[in-house]
Structure 1
């Protein structure tokens, strides 16, 4: 049978273990460990990693993994689940996306054992976890108080990614290229398939995003034959091949006129920018027919700030009027 060893500890069929990987310690000598929860089924099967909290303020993913652990949904009949509810413990403790040196862990892969703090966290993940896995789901939310409607992101030209995204069946599946030095890209270089689930915004629970994330994860586990039963999908899964941002032309106060997940039509009024002194008002119009897959929730904006993330599927393209 396949041998599963993490940080020197072997996990045998039918076993569940909590393993702490020491990352570093604070100036106060407080030790920072990353807890990993490993559950192995009685029968052979794939190894699935569920990682959350890469950015310490993205709590929806943490709650998805926590609820799965709490309810026993992470336990497979076949194969292994490796659950990491909080990858970036530093950011979590400080309500921060990044680690104390200001670096983003998800732009620090493959990492360096003696590099920056973010690079060290990435190194441990790449050496202690990623070599063991076959598939991964990396949970994220919108950053900087931008809400993402529940969506899976993956490079869809790879058939395995496409099948995983279809099995997850989020409301939107977005064809997303690899980001430089990201976990997803570096794992792919090693023949591992990781899809990203995005839902909600930072530092705020979104019950819809959490519930969709749990149900989608269970559907992926069923697709991998790790479990026998999973919730049926209730939402349509739209494939988004093209995305664009609506950005602010002026600084001011932004008030959206639409909701996340909504279909907007080309030329439709989607929000208003005003200044605090009543000197001007600008109506923001949709540049194309698309779904709102991300929405800014910060009223105070600067010129060039992202206001709204738009995603187009085939329906949207057909819905647009023909150009002269």
Structure 2
């Protein structure tokens, strides 16, 4: 018996087909429509329904390329289940390179949203009703913010056995147990019963190849772990390091920052991470690790003020 067609918005996608559509969001002052771009890959065989999204923050470009590459390799004639891809959620922010929406709201603090709420609330509501409500698993793609760059990592609920299995399948260098934030897509989706992996890698408004590559490989591994596709790697990936605690080392002075710590580097408590210098090159203060761990994030800002976050260290279990 053939699978039923997949309904989303005004369209029905037949099994074994790929369908692109645009879900209306709002209208610009010029009269032009602003739509949420969606592509559905509806497999011929039964399987889970999964979504993958990117650019909930409009300055995060890495995930858009991850989605493009994942879609390029999917064949609906052999796919088991259904994939819903939303490469750019914050369309208005993405067009201007802004993290936020025009009213300065953070879309990832606006879920589950409301059909009659703010612009952010309406986009969130559209995502929840047309995408999340139809899925059992989601992969939310992000990058660092505010001139920060992140080591490829999965942030999720490691206490849930199935979510943990999928995080292990993704095989990012680090998987971190992360608390839920009110208003986030991950929080709202979990309330609806979905398992969600949040991928962080690279820097905002950059197309970091290493962050893209790790994301593409990870998403493909998750689809294979769910039985939707066949594994493509001949050898198993390196297992993720596991972290349950992390924190930012903060500057204890103001100056030009010269960081020595690299992403993925292991450090011990007290290790030198870099230094602060005045405009003539005189050292103001050194930056030291406040814990043992692995560098999962770092600022790329040349100037830091006292109290600014400088290096993100995750305590890992071997």
Change in 2 beyond 3 A, CA 1:234/1:212: same
Structure 2 residue aligned with 1:15: 17
Residues of 2 paired with 1:289 and 1:117: CA distance? 43
CA contact (8 A) 2:15 2:76 kept: no
CA contact (8 A) 1:215 1:230 kept: no
**Scaled by the length of structure 1, what TM-score is found?**
0.93
The alignment status of 1:205 with 2:232, answered yes or no, reads no
- How far residue 27 of structure 1 moved from its aligned partner, in angstroms, is 1.9
- Spell out the pairing of 1:85-100 with structure 2 (5 A cutoff): 85-100=87-102
Structure 2 residue aligned with 1:320: none
Structure 2 residue aligned with 1:194: 196
Aligned pair partner of 2:278 in 264, 270, 275: 275
Structure 2 residue aligned with 1:131: 133
CA contact (8 A) 1:68 1:214 kept: yes
- How far residue 254 of structure 1 moved from its aligned partner, in angstroms, is 1.2
CA contact (8 A) 1:40 1:76 kept: no
- How far residue 234 of structure 1 moved from its aligned partner, in angstroms, is 3.6
After the TM superposition, which of the residue ranges 269-278 and 122-131 deviates more from structure 2?
269-278
- How far residue 73 of structure 1 moved from its aligned partner, in angstroms, is 6.6
- How far residue 237 of structure 1 moved from its aligned partner, in angstroms, is 1.0
Residues of 2 paired with 1:76 and 1:298: CA distance? 46
Spell out, residue by residue over 1:126-158, the C-alpha distance to the aligned partner (whole angstroms, 9 max, x if none). Answer: 111111011010000001121100000101111
Structure 2 residue aligned with 1:263: 266
Change in 2 beyond 3 A, CA 1:253/1:61: same
Residues of 2 paired with 1:34 and 1:45: CA distance? 25
- How far residue 12 of structure 1 moved from its aligned partner, in angstroms, is 2.0
After the TM superposition, which of the residue ranges 228-237 and 242-251 deviates more from structure 2?
228-237
Structure 2 residue aligned with 1:319: none
When the two chains are superposed, the root-mean-square deviation of aligned CA atoms in Å is 1.6
Structure 2 residue aligned with 1:303: 306
Structure 2 residue aligned with 1:183: 185
Secondary structure of the structure 1 residue equivalent to 2:128: helix
Structure 1 residue aligned with 2:114: 112
Change in 2 beyond 3 A, CA 1:30/1:194: same
* Number of corresponding residues: 315
Residues of 2 paired with 1:201 and 1:233: CA distance? 28
CA contact (8 A) 2:143 2:149 kept: yes
**Scaled by the length of structure 2, what TM-score is found?**
0.95
Spell out, residue by residue over 1:278-301, the C-alpha distance to the aligned partner (whole angstroms, 9 max, x if none). Answer: 565100111111100001001111
Structure 1 residue aligned with 2:143: 141
Residues of 1 paired with 2:77 and 2:38: CA distance? 14
- Spell out the pairing of 1:30-109 with structure 2 (5 A cutoff): 30-72=32-74, 77-109=79-111
CA contact (8 A) 1:134 1:192 kept: yes
Structure 1 residue aligned with 2:176: 174
Secondary structure of the structure 2 residue equivalent to 1:113: coil
After the TM superposition, which of the residue ranges 165-174 and 252-261 deviates more from structure 2?
252-261
Residues of 1 paired with 2:42 and 2:269: CA distance? 50
**Gapped runs of 5+ residues in structure 2?**
none
**Gapped runs of 5+ residues in structure 1?**
316-324
Residues of 1 paired with 2:171 and 2:308: CA distance? 31
Residues of 2 paired with 1:118 and 1:144: CA distance? 20
